[in-house]
Structure 1
Amino acid sequence: MGDVPVDGRAGIDAVLVECLIRTQFPQWGDLLVSPVPADGWDNRTYRLGADMSVRLPTAAAYAPAVAKESVWLPRLAPMLPVAIPTVLAVGAPDYGYAFSWSVRDWLPGDTADRAAIGDMTEFAADVAEFICALQRCDIGGAPLAGAHSFYRGSHPAQYDEQTRRCLQVLAERVEVRRATEVWESALAAEWTGTPVWFHGDIAAGNLLVAEGKLTAVIDFGTCGIGDPACDLVLAWTMLSADSRATFRRVLAHDDDTWTRARGWALWKALLTLIEAPDHDHEITSLRIIDEVLTDDL
């Protein structure tokens, strides 16, 4: 065993990744390890050579995703209209790092940016078609929504206490009366459907584009089967006006599902606003909240 100390995100760096690769996958030991420009929070990602990446969970709560993705991504990939990650190898804890980790193929493209997408309506339709295809995938033996998905795929009522606490803290920054109405309508919207596959985090950072077109969807760490509402939040986080209408038309869910989805979007935006690490995140959260509160569905 190695002796590189690891303390959450701060302990994961290129040196650790180089040690893990050389020890466990020596066939790739000579490849350059480099940080990616846009990294996530649940996992740290490093580029490995030109064609691969290394993904390491940052905490115990995110670690179960490694095994889940290794099992399910190969089964889902043939049924989906754009690329998703291919897991090439799974590594073991070592050098003071406590979790399993994975080596994947490197998917080309840039994270989705409204400024770089020429036709947002076409983009919205492409993402909606991906979600529809995912929802048609066989659910036999698939993981039911729960702690592993941070309750995506469950009812947003799982976060009722947290949402109401956020509204108290943000009483002077958001329109609490309207936000409470939106949240309570989400709580009242029941889900009685058959479980379907959900991604769990359909967000700009997990959608890759090239020349303005959707080319891949990444980060299935919160995937599972359950209520599809959690996958519809892009309607408010990235889309607006015509593109949102197209997104809704292609997906064709009932009003209650969209009402729960709006609740999911509100919960996350409120929480992010409280925890916003910088001004850009703050501005983004306020914009999303405004989109949510002004949309009457």
Structure 2
Amino acid sequence: MADSENEITAELVHDLLRDQHPDLAGLAIREVAGGWDNRMWRLGDELAVRMPRTERAPALQRKERRWLPVLAPRLPLPVPTPVRIGEPSARFPRPWSVMTWVRGEPLDCASISRDDHAADTLAGFLRALHVEAPAEAPAGSDRGAHPKKCTDGFEAFLRAAVPGGVAADARAIRDVWDDAVAAPEWEGPPVWLHGDLHPANVVVSEGTLSGVIDFGDMFAGDPAWDLAAAWLLLPAGAGSRFFEAYAQADEATIRRARGLAALKSLFLMLMGQKGERGLPGGKPAWGPAGRAALARVLAFG
């Protein structure tokens, strides 16, 4: 969770820019709502300053600075790319980054109205991203395993979410999960993955997907972890169109992806809850988003 020892203010951001990147210090600074590992400040019209607020955030930023310049040129949607690096100092003890700004509204604050276009766009983005990764690519930490290795987490999320209104569907949810657990493992080479595709990590414009953000959890592995986005991001009924356009997922991969979508939907629901059953760090909008995604998971097929 967030480290509260270092208060991050607009004045601090301005002072750090003035000290280390004075040519950017004259640009307008305004805070952007949200952010789990980083607080973000819009810098002018084209840039953003990302300030680490958790212990793990600097490592995630280093990963983005290393790999996004490699991936971005071949991706069909805008993604944030590093422009400058901020060094630790007496004013702020962690490294920080200046990135390009990706225009659009986060999906957890907006909606998709052009269903087919969004399905085709997401499929095209993931086809371009999901190529064999080099041996030195980062591995998954708490993500990337076959669903059978995530069963304890699934059961804990399901038990916690049942009082939130899914009791009648508990058996159906578990059936989806059991099918994913029974699916064969990924036998292809590890491919590049975003690793954390959910409504707060994509942006929309004019009713469709227009950018993908926050690559701090990127890793190489089973594409099913990203393909769960078909249910987490797209409107009801768009999943079939997505998989037709993606055209690279066999039946086993879709089964794993659907189970992982159920897992992630439950997680979003818990992130949106308040009280002892909820998980810290989420937003109230994530609860409804998780329930809607879970309904899409159960209706698929």
Conserved 8 A contact 1:145-1:154: no
Which of the residues 166, 170, 186 maps onto 2:161? Answer: 170
Give the alignment's TM-score, normalised by structure 1: 0.85
The change in CA–CA distance for 1:264 and 1:97 in structure 2 (over 3 A counts) is farther
Which stretches in structure 2 are left out of the alignment for 5+ residues? 274-282
1:180 aligned partner, one-letter code: R
1:56 aligns with 2:61: no
1:294 aligns with 2:290: no
Q: Distance in 2 between matches of 1:115 and 1:30?
A: 31
Q: Distance in 1 between matches of 2:227 and 2:154?
A: 19
Conserved 8 A contact 1:60-1:99: no
Name the structure 2 match of 1:201. Answer: 196
Deviation at 1:115, TM superposition (A): 6.5
Mean alpha-carbon deviation: is it higher for 15-24 or for 79-88?
Answer: 15-24
Name the structure 2 match of 1:224. Answer: 219
Name the structure 2 match of 1:179. Answer: 173
Which of the residues 120, 123, 138 maps onto 2:118? Answer: 123
Which of the residues 257, 262, 269 maps onto 1:266? Answer: 262
Conserved 8 A contact 1:121-1:242: no
Deviation at 1:9, TM superposition (A): 9.3
Paired-residue identity, %: 37
Give 3-state SS (helix, strand or coil) of 1:90's partner: strand
Q: Distance in 1 between matches of 2:238 and 2:113?
A: 12
Deviation at 1:287, TM superposition (A): 1.9
1:206 aligned partner, one-letter code: N
The change in CA–CA distance for 1:166 and 1:218 in structure 2 (over 3 A counts) is closer
Mean alpha-carbon deviation: is it higher for 91-100 or for 225-234?
Answer: 91-100
Name the structure 1 match of 2:137. Answer: 143
1:35 aligns with 2:23: no
Conserved 8 A contact 1:157-1:187: yes
1:46 aligns with 2:41: yes
Q: Distance in 2 between matches of 1:27 and 1:258?
A: 49
Conserved 8 A contact 1:142-1:225: no
Runs (4+) of structure 1 exceeding 6 A deviation are none
Q: Distance in 2 between matches of 1:98 and 1:221?
A: 20
Conserved 8 A contact 2:196-2:215: yes
The change in CA–CA distance for 1:141 and 1:18 in structure 2 (over 3 A counts) is farther
Deviation at 1:288, TM superposition (A): 1.9
Give 3-state SS (helix, strand or coil) of 1:55's partner: strand
Deviation at 1:83, TM superposition (A): 2.0
Give the alignment's TM-score, normalised by structure 2: 0.84
Matching of residues 1-40 of structure 1 within 5 Å: 7-8=3-4, 11-36=7-32, 38-40=33-35
Q: Distance in 1 between matches of 2:34 and 2:110?
A: 20
Mean alpha-carbon deviation: is it higher for 105-114 or for 166-175?
Answer: 105-114
Give 3-state SS (helix, strand or coil) of 1:183's partner: helix
Which stretches in structure 1 are left out of the alignment for 5+ residues? 1-5
Conserved 8 A contact 1:20-1:95: no
Name the structure 1 match of 2:287. Answer: 282
1:86 aligned partner, one-letter code: T
Name the structure 2 match of 1:154. Answer: 145
Deviation at 1:240, TM superposition (A): 4.1
Deviation at 1:213, TM superposition (A): 4.4
Conserved 8 A contact 1:114-1:238: no
Deviation at 1:73, TM superposition (A): 1.0
1:61 aligned partner, one-letter code: R
Conserved 8 A contact 1:9-1:58: no
Conserved 8 A contact 2:87-2:95: yes
Deviation at 1:48, TM superposition (A): 1.1
Q: Distance in 2 between matches of 1:158 and 1:32?
A: 47
1:272 aligned partner, one-letter code: L
Q: What CA deviation, in whole Å up to 9, does each residue of 1:97-148 have, x standing for no partner?
A: 4432210122323334796544211111011101001113x5224424222x
Q: What CA deviation, in whole Å up to 9, does each residue of 1:260-284 have, x standing for no partner?
A: 1122222122223233256533222
Q: Distance in 2 between matches of 1:265 and 1:8?
A: 32
